[in-house]
Structure 1
């Protein structure tokens, strides 16, 4: 999967690029808490939902699961003539019901000015048109469609973790296989077991793995990190993987072949990931397996990447955001 094609090519002019280094397309249900209004849509229908949103236009929406991360990323633009990061809203609302979303963006002082409204249709096509390095949504079906179309995407899941706005450094953590790498190794593990997986990885240690669905996001973050002086970068990345020696070497060689730096790496050998992500202080963690995320969500905000052999297709379910 060549997800790297979505990384923006930027030329530095002054203190910022002509286009942002990192562009995130976010669904309104990921940015704000739309639980109450979505309940109106599901129980009473579109017309009642539209009336409800118009009647509550002056009532700001509360922050949603990605609000803290978005706020911290947009803060990187402070004092710069050109933005390093752009966040665009891609919503299933109509432009009429979306007015409350814009009012809430202004109320919370978020620097979001671009948006698309698709009235019930999946908005991932606009994420691609905006050149997004990541599409964040609460919709499983929308995220699956985006990944199938080559767009780096993840589904935010609910978290009991405390908000991390009190620290300014942005910390992003990734699983490896079927997230930043392809699922080729997981296919061997699923078909033949652990010993066959280890043997294959040792034999292939000098052969870089193919790109996974979030490779383009990681590449864009790496470019963004290069803007800042060494030792003063406000973004930090971590690889948190169930792999252990001797399968670690292929991971390192793959990253080297891509020319991408990971700041920290934890090879867990199957131990639970949650405590290590809490120690790292991740603002968000991306993983392809829900059984890992059920644990990590207790410690940090988490996002599911429904890709690869561990994820079977689901029937599309209607949702309005």
Structure 2
């Protein structure tokens, strides 16, 4: 085995730290520190990305030798306040052994050193820095509904197309000139779509899928896009050219994605548009990718 799939995750994405974060925002760092130390033996409830982490780590059980996947905790906590997080990791039996506690500073600076293939955080600034430095990254959006730990081992990941798997070249045409110009451009273009920020992560998922027995493969991917015919053709041809497989492709022609994501039972959904993420987060764990023309301002 030549490489690992490495996922970096913040403590607020992994666990429900909403109460602690509320204390930090309202009463300051000292009150937050005291609260975490006083409650360090109180086990934290699962957060938005808990299902994703649990299922992706479980895939290691299908390999006979060393772990194929590693999850690393990248936290703005100090080691002192982070002890509660590690106690919770142990209590939930998550195989996470590496961690960085940055004492209020951004842990982003260690992303490249760890060779992270996907960085998930609740911090808008940390995610933006990662995206700008070509690391697939997304901001986990908190939901008003409490997530349940899902049964089953199947890991389901859904992606938007433009500005996520692909670049924002087509979205620029749509934004500047409208739907007709977008469709005309798609018909005329013979070239493949350019890679977006999540292409490399999708490629790594494909490697995992290709290594495992198809009969027991625990990973399923979906493309959930606002595109429809005839703009679907470039998407299909580009993925074919890349040698990348998507298990399910939903070309929704602008329909709301939420119910479709619920039907797919996505463990996480990545999209560049904040309204799409806001809608979807009521149904499934959702993460905003701050890339492309929709996020310029």
Q: Same fold (TM over 0.5)?
A: yes
Cα displacement (A) at 1:161: 7.3
Structure 2 match to 1:43: 26
Alignment correspondent of 2:151: 166
User: Any idea what SS the aligned residue of 2:73 has?
Assistant: strand
Q: For 1:200-236, what per-residue CA distance to the aligned partner results, in whole angstroms no more than 9, with x for missing partners? A: 11111x3111111111111110111111123431101
Deviates more, 1:158-167 or 1:67-76: 158-167
**What 5-or-longer segments of structure 2 have no aligned partner?**
none
Alignment partners' CA distance in 2, 1:175 and 1:27: 23
RMSD: 1.5
Q: What's the CA shift for 1:276?
A: 1.3
| Greater than 6 Å deviation, 4+ residue runs | none
The structure, 1 or 2, with the larger RCO (C-alpha pairs under 8 Å, 6+ apart) is 1
Equivalent pair of 1:136/1:155 in contact (CA under 8 Å): yes
Counterpart mapping for 1:134-213 below 5 A: 134-159=118-143, 160=145, 163=148, 165-204=150-189, 206-213=190-197
Match of 1:222 in 2: 206
1:73 counterpart residue number: 56
Aligned residue runs from structure 1 range 13-162, under 5 A: 17-20=1-4, 22-78=5-61, 80-159=64-143, 160=145
How far the C-alpha of 1:167 sits from its partner, in A, is 2.3
Q: What residue ranges of structure 1 are gaps of 5+ in the alignment? A: 1-16, 314-321
Q: CA deviation at 1:267?
A: 0.5
Q: Deviations over 1:93-124 (max 9, x none)?
A: 11221111111111110000001111111111
TM-score, structure 1 as length reference: 0.88
Question: What are the within-5 Å matches in structure 2 for residues 271-282 of structure 1?
Answer: 271-282=255-266
| Distance (whole Å) between structure 1 residues aligned to residue 278 and residue 27 of structure 2 | 31
SS at 1:57 equivalent: coil
Quick check: 2:159–2:223 contact (8 Å CA) kept in 1?
Answer: yes
1:94/1:119 contact within 8 Å kept? yes
Alpha-carbon distance between aligned partners in 2 of 1:246 and 1:223, rounded to the nearest angstrom: 30
> How many residues are matched?
295
- Are positions 1:289 and 2:276 aligned together? no
Report if the CA contact (8 A) 1:136-1:153 is conserved.
yes
User: Is contact 1:164-1:283 (8 Å) kept?
Assistant: no
Q: Any conservation in 2 of the 1:30–1:66 contact (CA below 8 Å)?
A: yes
The question of whether the paired residues in 2 share the 8 Å contact of 1:185 and 1:197 is answered with: yes
Following the alignment from structure 2 to structure 1, what is the Cα–Cα distance between the partners of residues 18 and 104? 16
